[in-house]
Amino acid sequence: MIVPRSSLARGLLAITLASTFGAAVAAPEPKSAAREASIRQLERSWARLDQDIRLLDQLLPPTPPGAGSPGTPAGLGPALLRANAPARGPLDLDAPDLSPPALALPSSASLGQGSVQSISLSQALALAYRQSPELQEQRLAVARALADLQARLGLYWPRLEALAGLGYQQSGTGFTVPSGNPALGFGGPFAPGGAFYVPTGATAYLNQGNRSLGAGLELRYALLDFARTPAVQSARAQLREARNRYANGLRRLQLAVSEAYYNLQRSDQLVRIRQADLSNDLVILQDVLALKQAGLVPRLDLLRRRAIEADSEEQLTQAFADRAVARRRLAALINLSPAITPSASDPVSLQPAWPLDLERSLLAAYQGNPELEAVLAIREALAHNRDAAAAQLLPKLSFVGQAGASGDQTSQWSITGDCCGTTVIPILNSGGYDWAVGLTFRWLLFDAGSTAAEVRSLARQEESQAQRYAAQRNDIRLRLEQAFFEHEASLAKLASSRRGVAASLEGFRDARLRYQSGLSDETTLSLTQDRLVQSLVRRLNATIDVNITYARLLRELLPVPRDPAKPLQSQLELPPAPATGAAP
């Protein structure tokens, strides 16, 4: 026999009140004047609060027309709807224009006409390794360090320079002869009237133009330079530091992409959970509305159910927003084109068990860690720079050799005066060569202590790198231990949340059957449904946290190449340990 819900509720209420308050229920106490005044004051406060809320509602933008469906709440904007659209198909990794140009800004067409395409975690990692801006910058840093090393290696070779010069010079010269040459007694051409006769008091003016062309080679070779070898060793250390930074960037990128992908999976599942919750709320709301029209439930149950349905719709709206943000965060990490929005295609599944205990994980994390090796490389580079600076105070010996040839053409014209015309050559060409070899010796004797101060500065920087090494060593241990403990806790929470989901699901089924049979009210059903939704969310969070903590453990131990030219693989598991049982 099915009892009407309203009669059953009134009967249960009467039994509860009678057992709790006894006979006082049948004869309620008359209200006092003070109580009546407090009730009226409370009603006035509620009226003022309702008036303030209505004024606030007038400031909000109007809700767009059209009611939302269980899968899409009402009032969502077009941008949020477009960002949460289902995937049209898988992403083609070989398609052109997957990554925007480095110096380009998105256009309105690419922002407004995007498409959602599904992508797996391994594909996301492959794209990130290929087109991440941060990783590309680190690759360029390695190439720059290699070029610096090649430049320093050139110090061991001689320098050969070609020299050349071309010039023109013009001048004018005036002559005055205080004493002529007849008094020399040469006779002949030097006698008066001769070709070389210059009288006393004669004057002359001569214009000259000179064109010169010269070319040569200069060879310089440092025979003794104590700063050369430390400079090369410093460049080698800087190259190792850049390569280790690149390897550590690979680990960071693997973790960032994995976390973004797992959080996107979490957002997808939360949307599904909130959609199911809202769909169930709408079904119950229809039942309550039908019972209210039949007079079987009070108006309070209907209003409460409408408030619960509105809250579920609000949480679904927030889940849509979280998923849109998670998609864009993944797209930014892998540097996708603005016209492409990624969607997770992998199902939510657990990563394999972590193969190492805590002690072996810590030891393996310290061995060959690129983050620590980068600090050691910087420290070594500073030590070599200190030696190179100190070598500036030592002598330097260099060999210098030069050889060249030159040619000149001298023009003379506009000759005026009363002498010396026969000795002027209008155009005169001349040429010659020269060569020289030698040794140069340099020794800095005094520089007011600037070199010594530079050496002390580099020594202090070298000591600071040792402290930085200690700090990063502690950070690595803290990160790994935190990830290890949280990984074990997430596994334990996953086991308990699975039991909670099973129990909550059975409880919800029983509560719904009792509600449909009239043996339970809507409040009990709502509480049971909320517990089920919370259990589902806890199980989802525990599953995602297991994968995220696994990725954080993998970030500290993942083998990565130091050379950007070597191929990369989207590794999601720790390689097995060697047969000897040593840590990887």
pLDDT digits (tens, 9 = 90+) for 171-202: 988 878 888 777 777 777 777 777 777 888 88
In Å, what is the CA distance from 404 to each residue of 158, 184, 221, 503?
18, 42, 18, 98
Domain boundary pick from 442, 463, 479: 442
pLDDT at res. 21 = 34
Same domain, 377 and 475: yes
Q: What is the mean pLDDT of residues 386-392?
A: 93
Query: Is 353's pLDDT higher than 90?
Result: no
Q: What is the mean pLDDT of residues 203-232?
A: 92
Could you read off the pLDDT of 44-56 as tens digits, one per residue?
A: 776 776 666 566 5
* Structural domain includes residue 60: no
Residues 132 and 211 in one domain: no
Q: Are both 434 and 525 inside the same structural domain?
A: no
Q: For position 95, what pLDDT does the model report?
A: 85
Q: How much of the chain, in percent, has pLDDT values that exceed 90?
A: 55
Q: What pLDDT was estimated at residue 49?
A: 61
Domain count for the chain, please give it.
2
pLDDT reading at 15 higher than 70? no
Q: Please check whether residues 435 and 401 belong to one and the same domain.
A: yes
- SS3 per-residue string spanning 227-250: CHHHHHHHHHHHHHHHHHHHHHHH
**Would residue 125 count as lying in a domain?**
yes
**Higher-scoring residue by pLDDT: 1, 282:** 282
pLDDT in tens, 237-258: 999 999 999 999 999 999 999 9
What's the pTM value of the predicted model, to 2 decimals? Answer: 0.79
Q: How confident is the model at residue 79 (pLDDT cuts 50, 70, 90)?
A: confident
- Does residue 187 form part of some domain? no
User: What's the pLDDT score for residue 58?
Assistant: 56
Rounded mean pLDDT, 568-581: 65
Q: Is residue 412 part of a domain?
A: yes
In terms of domains, do 349 and 400 share one?
Answer: no
Residues 475 and 356 in one domain: yes
Mean pLDDT of all residues in the chain? 84
C-alpha distance from residue 411 to each of 169, 333, 407, 581 (Å): 10, 74, 14, 92
Higher pLDDT, 385 or 579: 385
Q: What is the pLDDT of residues 516-559, one digit of tens each?
A: 787 887 788 888 989 999 999 999 999 999 999 999 999 999 99
Report pLDDT for 416.
77
Please tell me the predicted confidence (pLDDT) of residue 121: 95
Q: Is 330 within the bounds of a domain?
A: yes
Over residues 420-446, the pLDDT tens digits come to 777 778 888 899 999 999 999 999 999
Q: Are residues 255 and 375 in the same domain?
A: yes
Q: What is the mean pLDDT of residues 570-578?
A: 69
* pLDDT at res. 146: 96
Amino acid at position 259, single letter: E
Count of alpha carbons within 13 angstroms of residue 316, beta-carbon side: 26
Alpha-carbon dihedral 511, 513, 515, 519, rounded to 10 degrees: -90
What's the confidence (pLDDT) of residue 299? 83
* Residues 412, 349 share a domain: no
Q: Which pLDDT value is given to residue 555?
A: 94
Overall average pLDDT of the 159-163 stretch? 93
On the question of pLDDT at 581 being above 70, the answer is no
Contact 75/314 with Cβ under 8 angstroms?
Answer: no
pLDDT of amino acid 6: 38
Residue 464 neighbours by CB distance under 10 Å: 13
Lowest mean pLDDT among 72-76, 264-268, 386-390, 566-570: 72-76
Which burial class, exposed, middle or buried, applies to 150 when counting CB atoms under 10 A from its CB (0-12, 13-18, 19+)?
A: exposed
Please indicate, yes or no, if residue 389 is contained in any of the structural domains: no
3-state helix, strand, coil in the chain (%, to 5): 60, 15, 25
CATH code assigned at 525: 1.20.1600.10
d(CA 371, CA 36): 73
**CA 355, 360, 365, 367: dihedral to nearest 10 degrees?**
-120
Residues 242 and 277 in one domain: yes
pLDDT at residue 5, rounded to an integer: 40
Does residue 75 sit within a domain? no
Distance CA 282, CA 276 (A): 10
Contact 413, 207 (CB under 8 A): yes
Q: For residue 209, what are the domain limits?
A: 162-179+194-224+396-442
Let me know whether 366 and 330 are in one domain. yes
Closest to 381 in 3D by CA, of 233, 525, 528 = 233
Tell me, yes or no, whether 412 and 470 share the same domain. Answer: no
pLDDT at 59: 52
At residue 68, the pLDDT reads 45
Question: Does 301 have pLDDT greater than 90?
Answer: no
Q: In this structure, is residue 173 part of a structural domain? A: yes
Q: Which residue among 405, 423, 442 closes a domain?
A: 442
User: Looking at residue 414, what is its pLDDT?
Assistant: 65
Q: Quick one: 203 and 265 in the same domain?
A: no
Better-predicted residue by pLDDT, 164 or 100: 164
**pLDDT tens, position by position, 104-148:** 888 877 776 678 999 999 999 999 999 999 999 999 999 999 999
pLDDT band at 170 (very low <50, low <70, confident <90, very high): very high
Whole-number pLDDT of residue 47: 72
